[in-house]
Each structure stands twice: as C-alpha cells, then as structure tokens.
Amino acid sequence: MSNDSTPELPPPSTQATVDIPARIVDMEGLKALAHPLRVKILDTLSTYGEFTASGLGERLGESSGATSYHLRQLEKHKFVREVQGRGTGRERWWERVPGGIMVGSPSEESTPSERAASKLVLREWMVNRRIVLDDFLNNGDDVLSQAWMEASVVSMSNLNLTREQASDLSTRLQGVLDEFVVAYRGQKVPGARPVQTHINVFPVIDGTQVPETTSKEVPS
C-alpha cells in the first residue's frame, strides 16, 4: 500500500533492473576521468543513452577524433563500453557501464595530484548539472507540457543541523532516490523520458557553528 506522500513502486518481479552496487573510483580511475570532456561524455551517455563518437562530437561541439580518443580512455578504465550487436567497425556505439559512481571528497591523506583530480571531476559534474538545470528553467515552459512542469520541483531549504543530523538527512534522501533508481533505471515504457535529480546536503562554508557546550542541559 501507499499513502498520499509515498508513490507505490512496482513489485520486484516487474522492476526494470536489478540493483547494481555503486563503483568506488580508485585513484587510477579518478585520474583517467579527470578531464572536462571525459566528464561531459560520461554525463551525456548517462542522461541520453547510447551514442557514437561522431554523435557525441556533434552534441558536445568536438571533433569525432577527440571524442573517439576519450571514449577509448574511458573504456580502458571501465566507465563506458561498446554496445554489443549494434554498429560496425567504423561506427561503434557506446554506453555507460551500468551502476553508480562514487568519487570521494579530497582528504588530508590525498596527494596534491589526487586532490586536484577529485576536485576537477566534482567541479565538472556540478557545471554539467547547472547547465541541465538552467536549460529546464529557461525552456521548460516552452517545450514541456503543464503536467510535466507540475511533476517537477526545484527546491532549496536552509537548516541549522549538527553533523549527525546532516548525515541522517543525507542517508534518508539517498535512500528514497535509491528505491526509484532500482525500480526504474533504464525502463523503456510509453511516456518515460530522461529525468535528472540532484541531492546536495552540505554545510555553508562561511556559516558560524554553535559552540559545543560542556553542560548536558540544552541552552535556553
């Protein structure tokens, strides 16, 4: 059963895909991904599906030679793969390897090159997110139906949370998203189209943290 606020997901027997564990990218993979065009290629395959090198070149404003080279580098590190049974030796079709990708934030133990690679990948992901969101905000009313606009949400909330509370919020939000990813990733049903979700939970850098208190009592 479902209540008014929780959509009912399909039973396991009708789910479009099985749950695929997220890949934690190692340093070699991270360094291979740390190129703006490679991040764009991976994002494009994730959002729109299969492409050829020439198709990616047209969409991204790059030469097919450049996209072909970067596809091969991404393939070497198992971020993308050739679509089996489609295309020819001259015109290969590519898809993203299924499953999530986890890139950790730079840590104190990271080398300068590792921190630079991690920051570049995360920054490029955010740039691409902003481009897609801006496109929706600027053009959604003109190209989407009213029903699709009403099904969409762009929201921001400001809270005062402890680290534990922020972690709990992140876990709960990610858990809801994971349910939908498992149920609907890759489905090809009438009316389905690419939909992108963004989850950001982070402390405001120039915000002030409430000092720790030695008393067990809650300050009035």
Instruction: Give me the CATH number covering residue 139.
Output: 1.10.10.10
DSSP state of 16: S
What 3-state class would DSSP assign to 209?
coil
What rounded mean pLDDT belongs to the chain?
Answer: 86
Residues 6+ apart with CB under 8 A from 174: 199
Residue 12, pLDDT > 50, answer no
Residue 17, pLDDT > 50, answer no
Q: In the structure encoding, which two tokens stand for residue 192, read together?
A: 């389905």
Q: Of 1-15, 123-137, 149-163, give the lowest mean pLDDT range.
A: 1-15
- Please tell me the predicted confidence (pLDDT) of residue 27: 85
- Residue 201, domain member (yes or no): no
The closest of 101, 81, 105, 103 to 93, measured between CA atoms, is 81
- Residue 129, domain member (yes or no): yes
**How many domains would you assign to the chain?**
1
* pLDDT over 70, % of the chain: 84
- Please tell me the predicted confidence (pLDDT) of residue 219: 53
- Residue 32, domain member (yes or no): yes
What 3-state class would DSSP assign to 189?
coil
pLDDT tens figures, 174-185: 999 999 988 998
- Residue 89, domain member (yes or no): yes
- Distance, in Å, from the CA atom of 202 to the CA atom of 156, rounded to the nearest integer, reads 12
pLDDT tens figures, 31-40: 899 999 999 9
- Residue 218, domain member (yes or no): no
pLDDT tens figures, 87-112: 777 789 999 998 888 886 555 567 88
pTM: 0.77
- Residue 54, domain member (yes or no): yes
Residues 6+ apart with CB under 8 A from 48: 194
CA atoms within 13 A on the CB side of 69: 6
> Range of 80's domain?
19-154
- Residue 69, domain member (yes or no): yes
- Residue 211, domain member (yes or no): no
